[in-house]
Amino acid sequence: MAKMIHSMIRVLDERRSVDFYRQAIGLSVAERVDFDSFTLLYLSNPDTGFELELTVNKGRTEPYGLGDGYGHLAVSVDDIESEHKRFVSLGFAVGKIVGFQHNGEPLARFFFVTDPDGYKIEVIQRGGRYL
C-alpha cells in the first residue's frame, strides 16, 4: 500500500516561507537540499510524518501563478478560536471561522490563512475525521 509522504509547493522567497510555516503551524526544516538552479526544503514537525516540500527556483523574481485549479493544504488544531486569534496577532491574511454542516450535522469548524505565495491553508478544529 502506498504511503503519502509529502506535498510540494513552489515558493519565491525561502526565508519568508520558512518563517511563515514555522510561525503558523510549527514546521521546521528537516532537510535542505541545494542544487545549482533550485533548492528543496523539507518541512516537518513531530506530530506527523507528512512533510511539506518547498521548492525555491534560484533567480526567479516573479510570483508563481496559482491558476484556478489549486485546492489547499489542511492542518488540524486543538483550539480553533485561540489559533485564529494567534494568526490574526501575527498579521497573517486570515479568514473568519466558519462552520460546515452535512445533513444538518456539524462536520467541521475551520478558517483559511494565506501563505506569502498565495497558497491557502485550511485550519480545522481537531475532531471526528479531522484528527
Q: Which of the following is catalytic: 31, 62, 81, 122?
A: 122
Sequence-distant (≥ 6) Cβ neighbours of residue 57 within 8 angstroms:
10, 37, 38
* Rounded Cα distance, 25 and 22, in Å: 6
* Rounded Cα distance, 11 and 78, in Å: 28
Q: Is residue 122 annotated as part of the catalytic site, yes or no?
A: yes
Would you please indicate which residues are annotated as catalytic (active-site) residues? 122
